[in-house]
Structure 1
């Protein structure tokens, strides 16, 4: 059998190769840029051949952010899963956490590579702007570099020390927590630069760094972006991990492998959807702060040039909810007793479909002059009322409640409560669900009869009702299902293969959605590098059209998914390599085993066999 040291050595060679490629690329490009800086006159902008500077930076930055989101999100739930395994003594959780971390360790060097290229592009193509940004945020840039090294060293200690610290789980979990501290700190620091460009504090144009570093960092959008990105990164990491599990499930050759990756896919999907559910609330918080900072920016976001992009966003988020529910419904086929709840699926699907249709309905239609005359304007006489935020807030909150109900049915599929108050508990849960849905619908309808300022506040009541429902029913279920009668064990691996394609769809939708929302956040600055402070005077100083932006984002999605598929393939090759090394170890043991020479049997010299 292969030794732990040879296994770690094999993985170490892969990681050393990735890290070496990253550092090698940096060392190769650094002299080129140094030569260019030395030989060229001082300029504000430089042109990138062919596609232009903005598109070049856009593509590299977006791919870097995809990988960075994955590298940040995975450690959060990897450490959580490892902690659960430590408390429950279930080796499956420990193995799952190790599998998650293996994905992150492979992606880390790719993240660093694209980050290095992005730095070269920014300082080479936008020198004046980057010098201005560095003059304000240089201390945080130094901190960022130190945090990056801390994250890298901690990641490798956490991953390669897995077996060595198996008997010292407290220390290993501490390393995992430290890894998350470094990762979240990196995100928070870099968010301060991006949000400063969007919502700079008042007085920056006159006082600059004199305002104080904390004032520059703690701008209007900084904390909302931190919360929104943290949830989004966890959801994104869960979706990509689930897609990896689906990839391995479809390639599995044994029932054991199918069961292992089926379970991994379920956990990844659970994490992704668990983080997706509160994500719209974080989005509301971010939008509110943008409106508070600058009303014109808020109007441009929701009712101006970017309004149609939010229709695309609605379609993608609707696809996320439908795919997640579809996966749960298919997953119930592997659970004995789940047939009791199959009749509910058609009603859940009906609610999701209606809400999806409402959410993606635009307020104003793209119509010809003749069509507009027949409608009496740009708004459809019947469907126009569904295009306002009252209808859309109602739809998304009902979709969240429906998805949560699907998960609760999945969780109960093979369990029957045995506590004396089971009927009362079920009735209370049904009442909470009904009241929450009634509150959401009531304020959604009432919003049509009040001014816009009042209507915006109604979303708080809707969100509050939904959050209370999620928390209250989760707590009740913990006690309600305690000691429940189990109808049968979940048969992992016995799920239709089409369920794995739902996981692929989730990963694709998450990736595309991240890219499009990044375009909105950057595009809100219009023709400013720093909104209202430093104007963009480059040839690219205009807002890209929606069609052009979706094409660029789609290109980044294709490149990222191609790279992540390659990483998945490398992961499968590594396991084949480990199996081959195990066979090699056996051969080497046989080759180096001492040869035993036969000795003549002891006996009397005169004795012998006579024929």
Structure 2
């Protein structure tokens, strides 16, 4: 009876921590309808300011002026946004401050994404091992968390370097942001130490907290690790999104809201959702690469079989998170346009246009690589011969969708090139550069990637139920109906109706 009550209490505690973990993502942020509120409700806050800087800027778009809440009388007023010139930025001979900070920030982002993502599926894998009493899952989860320990140390080091770089090269910007986010920065520091403590207890207590109620305690530490890690990421996201979609600023750039108003800005929830999904896909891919390396260096058949199985599960995690990732990206981009159309235009058609095209190529290459990995895995499965004739048709569709996906609408052309082309748009390929074609292409990429994923998962399985033929027919009908729906929505509603 005592053990049963302890398990009930432990389960309730796990659910409570899980609720705290998911709460920041699903709380409603400022939205377009609030941005369109009557002027009388937002007249207290005038258009936001701009931190004029050659490298880093804090700019408020017109929609933010309306979305900003009226200043609270109890809210602490921050310092005005600094008006800077190039002379106000410290320089070091031979060092490009923008590139230096960008490199450190990018490395910190990569390692941070890994150490946030890995505990998520480690917790799930450990729970599966606990439920099934299969030690293979427990060993795999332990190996995953062991890999993340080294990455965690590098993440902390890079985070310190990033802070140092911002203070050194952008002192006025850092001072201004600190005046607004000082409470959250202090909370971030406390959460960092809490995450470090929980991580090391979780890792070094793995073998000690085994069996009976000890395993529940260890699983609780795993959930706490995920909660603290995601809260850290959410706080850092708030600093980034405030620079993209600030609210509560007057014409001088003085912030009149409280800490929650600064954190809960227009783009905070979209970036949270996108980063959580992207981190899991990224973490699963890294762990899969680790398993592939260990597989190639295995000394006996048992090790090769183990790491082949680890890679199989890591690939499942990566693909399962990769499939919904474009929808999170579309949601984030749609919210950018809702906040400021100029921001979206700049992202996709302005100064960042070529970078966006490169990103499109990388996204397409990512899906092609994921499918190729699945096909290679099927090549090592004896039961996959049933699906091999379909692979070439899937490959043709994926390549065609990829070509449409990264076809640009316009190019940066010289006068002579513009004249020879006959205008800014290609005579035949111009129609493939607008969003209806790209939406159709990316949905075909997703659908056929899921088809490859389904074949991969079913390669060594045979349906034995009496209604197997009916089930397969229903699956074919669902795929056919989905593809027809994608084509109709993309072509008819994209090209033959007024969608503006």
Give the TM bin, normalised by the shorter chain: 0.7 to 0.9
Q: Look up the match of 1:338.
A: 384
| 8 Å contact from structure 2 (residues 90, 170) kept in 1 | yes
- 1:205–1:141 distance in 2 versus 1, CA, 3 Å: farther
* Equivalence map 1:546-561=2 (5 Å): none
* Mapped partners of 2:301, 2:462: distance in 1: 28
CA contact (8 A) 1:365 1:380 kept: no
TM-superposed CA distance for 1:435, in Å, is 0.8
Q: Residue 407 of structure 1 corresponds to which residue in structure 2?
A: 453
- Equivalent position of 1:82 in the other structure: 126
1-structure distance, mates of 2:499, 2:352: 20
Question: CA shift at 1:63, angstroms?
Answer: 0.9
1:58 aligns with 2:102: yes
Deviations 1:32-56 (A, max 9, x none): xxxxxxxxxxx94311331222222
How far does residue 217 in structure 1 lie from its aligned partner after superposition?
1.0
Identify the match of residue 153 of structure 2 among 105, 109, 126: 109
How far does residue 366 in structure 1 lie from its aligned partner after superposition?
4.5
Computed over aligned residues only, the root mean square deviation of the Cα atoms, in angstroms, reads: 1.6
Mark the runs of 5 or more structure 2 residues left unpaired by the alignment.
1-86
Partner of 1:451: 498
Q: Which residue number corresponds to residue 47 of structure 1?
A: 91
2:381 is aligned with 1:312: no
Structure 1 spans left out of the alignment, 5+ residues? 1-42, 454-611
Classify the secondary structure of the residue corresponding to 1:337: helix
Partner of 1:500: none
SS of 2:254 mapped into structure 1: helix
Is the CA contact (8 Å cut-off) linking 2:287 and 2:311 kept in structure 1? Answer: yes
Aligned to 1:148: 192
CA shift, 1:313, in A, is 1.3
CA distance in 2, matches of 1:207, 1:362: 37
Q: 2:141 aligns with which of 94, 97, 112?
A: 97
8 Å CA contact 1:136–1:208 kept in 2: the answer is no
* Aligned twin of 2:14: none
Identify the residue that residue 76 of structure 2 maps to in structure 1. Answer: none
Q: Look at both structures and tell me which one has the larger radius of gyration over its CA atoms.
A: 1
What is the 5 A alignment of 1:393-542? 393-446=439-492, 447-453=494-500
Say whether the 8 Å CA contact 1:135–1:209 is kept in structure 2. Answer: no
Contact persistence 1:48–1:56 (CA under 8 A): no
Are the aligned partners of 1:47 and 1:53 in contact in 2 as well (CA < 8 Å)?
yes
**What does residue range 203-214 of structure 1 map to in structure 2 within 5 Å?**
203-205=249-251, 208-214=254-260
1:228 positional shift: 0.7
**How far apart, in 2, do the equivalents of 1:226 and 1:54 lie?**
25
Equivalent runs, 1:345-364 vs 2, <5 Å:
345-364=391-410
CA–CA distance in 1 between the matches of 2:329 and 2:142?
32
Q: Give the TM-score, by structure 2 length.
A: 0.79
Q: Distance in 1 between matches of 2:267 and 2:137?
A: 37
How far off is 1:363 after superposition? Answer: 1.1
3-state SS in 2 of match to 1:373: helix
What is the 5 A alignment of 1:93-242?
93-167=137-211, 168-205=214-251, 208-242=254-288
The alignment status of 1:381 with 2:438, answered yes or no, reads no
Match of 2:42 in 1: none
Is the 1:300–1:306 Cα contact (8 Å) retained in structure 2? yes
- Contact 1:46/1:124, CA 8 A, preserved across alignment: yes
Partner of 1:259: 305
Q: Once superposed, which parts of structure 1, at least 4 consecutive aligned residues long, lie more than 6 Å away? A: none
CA distance in 2, matches of 1:157, 1:125: 37
Number of residue equivalences: 411
Q: Could you say if the C-alpha distance between residues 425 and 190 of structure 1 is closer, same or farther in structure 2, counting changes exceeding 3 Å?
A: same
User: Mean alpha-carbon deviation: is it higher for 263-272 or for 191-200?
Assistant: 263-272
Q: 2:248·2:256 contact (CA, 8 Å) conserved in 1?
A: no
User: What is the DSSP-based 3-state SS (H/G/I as helix, E as strand, rest coil) of the residue aligned with 2:438?
Assistant: helix
Cα drift, residue 141 of structure 1: 0.6
- What TM-score, normalized to structure 1? 0.65
